Structure 1
Amino acid sequence: MKRTIKPRAVLLWALGVLSIAGLAFAAQTLTRIAPIGTGYAAKILCTGVFVSGRSAGEVIREDIRAGVHPLLHLISPTIDVKARRARATFLGMAAREAWFRPGLGCTLQIGDHDGPVALPDLRPLDKPNPPAPLAKTTDEPNRNTLQAAIDSAFDEPDASRPRRTRAVVVLYDGKVIAERYAPGFSAQTPLIGWSMSKTVVAALVGVLVGQGKLSLDATRLLPEWSANDDPRSRISLDELLRMTSGLQFNEDYDDPLSDVAVMLFAKADQSAFAAGKPLVSTPGARWNYSSGTTEILARVMRRALGGTEQDYLAFPSRALFEPLGMRTAVFEPDASGVLVGASFVCASAIDWARFGQLLLQDGIWEGKRVLPAGWVRYMRTVTTQSPRRDYGAQVWVKVPEPFNSRASPPPALPPDAFHLVGHEGQFVSVVPGRKLVVVRLGLSRPEEAWDHETFLARLIEAIALDASIHPLPAQTQ
């Protein structure tokens, strides 16, 4: 007798197959995500403890597990203070370690890199004298309005969207007029700048351009792009700086498998990963925000500078941080020895303010030219391909989404304002016409919780520009 297969049995069989396939896909995806998550946790813990000087428990609680991907709650980070290493595992698997070295900060140790992962300790810099402190004004202003504006940055009006402001510093006419810090943070606490680091890279590229070691129209920037039939050979330094290289790169921070997450937390040689991406548009034709582009620039700097690995690693300090007195600043490299220009410059709020003041002063510090004449103007010039005409060369010329105001109409900012902007609400805003530099560091999750446009407009309104301004005392909550 012929057996009849019942539709219900077929359905159950199909559902079983789909369930197995779904589980297999989920397991495969988890296998890819887990090392990125453990890499993130190890790196953030290492930098938080050994660079910022915070407690491991605080970093784990506030930085690694606060309001981000739920899988991070299944990651177990640990710290070895004696060895100066951080380690993280996911359910006992996918272990990643980050190692601290004096002068270099923390580096993820990733085993898929064929080259050496051990970097030399940075040779101590000559530091005969401490940097001159930023001056503070002495005349009495209207305190209440300015204090209220500063305090507003630390308010938490919505518990479901915490701002987590950690530091605010305001310079007017080169002088500190206000600073405030959250508990556990101080004027000496270096914090990750995330994408504010990109502007530091642009400044360092400017130094090399001024020395004649690079030019904006230079092409064939990397050996793997040098073949005549490789269209990437036509990418210019200017196009890299302006994010118009045409290279494919996915900068989706909500996707744990996006290019930016894979590059920063799963690749030993981050610049090689970015440089290996194919062209998806003609160089110069289309703007695409890409941390990979800045990693390529960091490698281009290395090739242009020449010399030893230690010469390259010391270059940011000798060319920029030391002249400005940025003694807390650290530029962290990846395991291949290339500086992580996309994300990993750490500095205190005061030292970030020093860098902002350098840009306000057209690259001149204490009467000496640090950046070539016209370089800051070049950085601030709008990249016309950017959709909102809001980007220059590794710097924003408008407050970008999601940090812009949701008010209608939005507050009007001076047209000459420009901004260093980093993940989770890091900002250095420079307003040359108002002689103003504003630094805000924090951990805003979601990022929309921080409305920088409104905050900056309120500060500008609070400052009487035609009168002397007395500094507000530094505060810690």
Structure 2
Amino acid sequence: MTDQALPALPLQSPDTPWPTEAWPEGDLPSGMDRARFDALMDHAFQAEAPADMGETHAAVVIQHGRLIHERYWTGFDKDTTCPSWSMAKSITQALVGILTADGKIDIQAPAWAPEWTGDDPRRAITLDLLLRMSSGLRFREDYEPDNPSDVIEMLWGEGKDDTGHFAASFPLDHEPGSFWSYSSGTTNIVARAAAQAADAWGGDFEHFMRERLFNPLGMRSASPKFDAKGSFIGSSFCFCTPRDFARFGLLYLRDGMWEGKRVLPPGWVDYARTKTWQQPNDEGPYGAHWWLDMAGPGSFSANGYEGQYTVVVPELDMVVVRNGKTPGEQKLGPRQWIADIVECFRLVG
């Protein structure tokens, strides 16, 4: 996908209030495949979690800036905060964009990592390469406790107090820019570099996050987590309500604009959704800390472990959020379910 091939990002209608205080509500469109849509929702939210997708705790559908459908599993509601897992990576990408607009970060410059000194070949790694998961650094991304896993060690073991340092200490397995490999460690190097650029750690960085990103959008439930060194654990931990994840998705659907003001710099959303070169892989196309095409060509999404998704569909002016708890062996189920949900709206006459 090239910049020219990116579908246009729709503007907020002047007749539609921004959801900073509350989501304006709308109706499911007439002409959609309502029977199919209802069947898909009923399947996901049946009392006993279906074998093909595990538990679905929440589903929120936004179209044309309005909340047109939401549903929650037993014990969950609109005020329940849900884990982001790796959806936090896309939040980290937004923070880097804000710092780029402030002139505090240059994504084409070598990334800040004090572990990489002198003639260390890792000094060739830029923030752009990190955001595109193309650093070449060794890192085993595996969430199964029985398997050797660098991400589990980083989040709960040896690396938990200084996640950025843990990830930056790995050697290169490939020349920077020559190999794509999804890595939560990569994001924590980025998050630590963002704190350095902002000169704000721990509570100070959380204040920056709230002042520049969460509060302008009305994301009042957002709860980011930090390591002992004060770095945002941007790979994995920012709890939000599903409605607040939808606000974040709407920011990207609206090209970084909110209530007539720029939150993200011009071109930053296009940067997020421009395809990264990848060797053949089973994970799907990737942009810059956003996944691509999950709900059809031109869609882009923040994807998290156990089936957390915020999916942006410019073609339909739509955001779909799904939170749940899906075992790894069923991980393809929610992806297909979201694609099928979106397809119901493509049938509108």
Q: How does 1:60-79 map to 2 (within 5 A)?
A: none
Pick aligned residue for 1:188 from 65, 72, 79: 79
Q: Which has the higher contact order (CA 8 A, sep 6+)?
A: 2
Helix, strand or coil at the partner of 1:194: coil
Displacement of 1:255: 4.5
- Residue 372 and residue 150 in structure 1: after superposition, are their counterparts in 2 closer, same or farther (change >3 A)? same
Q: CA deviation at 1:336?
A: 1.8
Runs of 5+ consecutive residues of structure 1 not aligned to the other structure: 1-129, 400-412, 468-477
Q: CA contact under 8 A between 2:111 and 2:193: conserved in structure 1?
A: no
Instruction: Identify the residue that residue 261 of structure 2 maps to in structure 1.
Output: 368
Distance of aligned partners of 1:464 and 1:417 in 2 relative to their CA distance in 1, 3 Å threshold = closer
Question: Which secondary structure does the structure 1 equivalent of 2:290 belong to?
Answer: coil
Q: Choose which of 261, 285, 297 in structure 1 pairs with 2:190.
A: 297
1 CA distance for matches of 2:296 and 2:53?
28
**CA distance in structure 1 between the aligned counterparts of 2:119 and 2:257, rounded to whole angstroms:** 42
Matched, 1:339 2:228: no
Could you give the per-residue CA deviations for residues 22-60 of structure 1, whole angstroms, max 9, x where no partner exists? xxxxxxxxxxxxxxxxxxxxxxxxxxxxxxxxxxxxxxx
Deviations 1:64-100 (A, max 9, x none): xxxxxxxxxxxxxxxxxxxxxxxxxxxxxxxxxxxxx
Query: CA offset at residue 159 of structure 1?
Result: 6.0
Deviation per residue, 1:432-477 (Å, 9 max, x gap): 011111000000114425523432333233336757xxxxxxxxxx
1:17-166 matches, within 5 Å, as: 131-137=20-26, 141=30, 144-155=35-46, 163-166=54-57
Using the TM superposition, name which of 143-152 and 196-205 deviates more: 143-152
Structure 2 CA distance for aligned equivalents of residues 464 and 242 of structure 1 = 30
Aligned residue type for 2:320: V
Aligned pair partner of 2:133 in 209, 233, 243: 243
Cα distance change, pair 458–363 in 1 and its aligned pair in 2 (3 A)? same
Match of 1:428 in 2: 310
Matched, 1:392 2:287: yes
Whole-angstrom CA distance in 1 between matches of 2:200 and 2:189:
19
User: Take 1:155 and 1:262, find their aligned partners in 2: how far apart are those partners?
Assistant: 35
Gaps of 5+ in 2: 1-18
| d(CA) in 2 for partners of 1:429, 1:463 | 14
2:297 corresponds to 1:415: yes
442-451 or 211-220, larger mean C-alpha shift: 442-451
Change (3 A) 1:221 1:428: same
Aligned to 2:107: 216
How many angstroms does 1:419 deviate by? 1.2
* Deviation per residue, 1:235-273 (Å, 9 max, x gap): 101001011111110002225441000000013111111
- Structure 1 CA distance, aligned partners of 2:232 and 2:62? 29
1:167 to 35, 47, 58: 58
| Match in the other structure for 2:121 | 231
The letter of the residue matching 1:164 is: E
SS of residue paired to 1:441: strand
Q: Does the alignment pair 1:451 with 2:340? A: no
CA-to-partner distance for each residue in 1:336-368, whole Å, 9 max, x for gaps?
211110100100000000101111111111211
Residue 278 of structure 1 is matched in structure 2 by: 171
Tell me, yes or no, if the aligned pair for 2:28 and 2:68 is still in contact at 8 Å.
Answer: no
Query: What SS does the corresponding residue of 1:221 show, helix, strand or coil?
Result: coil
Query: Would you say the 8 A contact 2:136–2:178 is kept in 1?
Result: yes
2-side partners of 1:140 and 1:450: how far apart?
Answer: 28
Please, what TM-score do these two structures have when normalized by structure 2?
Answer: 0.86
Kindly indicate whether the alpha-carbon contact (under 8 Å) linking 1:444 and 1:450 is maintained by their aligned counterparts in 2.
no
Aligned residues: 324
Distance of 2:130 and 2:55 partners within structure 1: 33
**Distance change (3 Å), C-alpha of 1:464 and 1:198:** closer
- Call closer, same or farther: CA 1:420–1:447 in 2, change over 3 Å: farther
CA distance in 2 between counterparts of 1:348 and 1:386 reads 35
* Native 8 Å contact 2:191 2:231 kept in 1: yes
Determine helix, strand or coil for the equivalent of 1:176.
strand
How far, CA to CA, are the matches of 1:206 and 1:147 in structure 2?
A: 38
Checking the alignment, whether the CA contact within 8 Å between 2:251 and 2:258 is kept in structure 1 is: yes
Maintained 8 Å contact 1:210/1:371:
yes
> Using a 3 Å threshold, how does the CA distance of structure 1 residues 285 and 139 change in structure 2: closer, same or farther?
closer
Aligned to 2:14: none
- Displacement, 1:276? 0.7
1:328 aligns with 2:210: no
C-alpha distance after superposition, 1:95-149 (max 9, x if no partner)? xxxxxxxxxxxxxxxxxxxxxxxxxxxxxxxxxxx94211112587365443333
Structure 1 counterpart of 2:240, one-letter code = A
CA distance in 2 between partners of 1:159 and 1:309 (Å):
40
Q: Helix, strand or coil: the match of 2:207? A: helix
Does the Cα contact within 8 Å between 2:28 and 2:69 map onto a contact in 1? no
C-alpha change, 1:463 and 1:308, in structure 2 (3 Å) is closer
